[in-house]
Amino acid sequence: MGKCYPTVSEEYQKAVEKCKRKLRGFIAEKHCAPLMLRLAWHSAGTFDVNTKTGGPFGTIRHPDELSHAANNGLDIAVRLLEPLKEQFPILSYADFYQLAGVVAVEVTGGPEVPFHPGRP
């Protein structure tokens, strides 16, 4: 049985591609790839494989999560990204933050990481 990914509209997929291009330029210009990768990692880090709960839902942007000691400094990433996120209101914060992590890997010369949108 293969993995099952959410289905998104063509409009959503086009927004993902456009956002990815903008993120490439933004992350390269700001030299913030490590910070963006850390944001994506910490956003996803609450996933529990046993209960299938937690995970990257974009909630890391909320003060309660940002104030957790392990997330120290990630408020900077959230603030840096917010003007760009405003350009793509169709994208969920969850997809947006994970896409920033994917692009950060690619911008630094890493492999192309498959991205599957559709997080709430």
DSSP state of 3: -
pLDDT at position 33: 98
3-state secondary structure of 54: coil
Catalytic residues: 42
CATH architecture of 18-47+55-107: Orthogonal Bundle (1.10)
Contacts made by residues 48-56, CB under 8 angstroms, sequence distance 24+: 56/94, 56/97, 56/98, 56/119
Per-residue pLDDT for 40 more than 80?
Answer: yes
Q: What is the pLDDT of residue 1?
A: 60
Q: How far apart are the first and last CA of the chain?
A: 24
Q: In whole angstroms, how large is the CA radius of gyration of the chain?
A: 14
> If you average pLDDT over residues 89-93, what whole number do you get?
97
Indicate the average pLDDT of the chain.
93
Categorize the per-residue pLDDT at 10 as very low, low, confident or very high, splitting at 50, 70 and 90. Answer: very high
Residue 46 clears pLDDT 80, i.e. is over it: no
pTM: 0.91
DSSP string, 61-113: GSHHHHTSGGGTTHHHHHHHHHHHHHT-TTS-HHHHHHHHHHHHHHHTT-PPP
CA distance to 9, 14, 20, per residue, from 110 (Å): 28, 23, 15
Domains of the chain: which residue ranges? Answer: 18-47+55-107
Residue type, 14: K
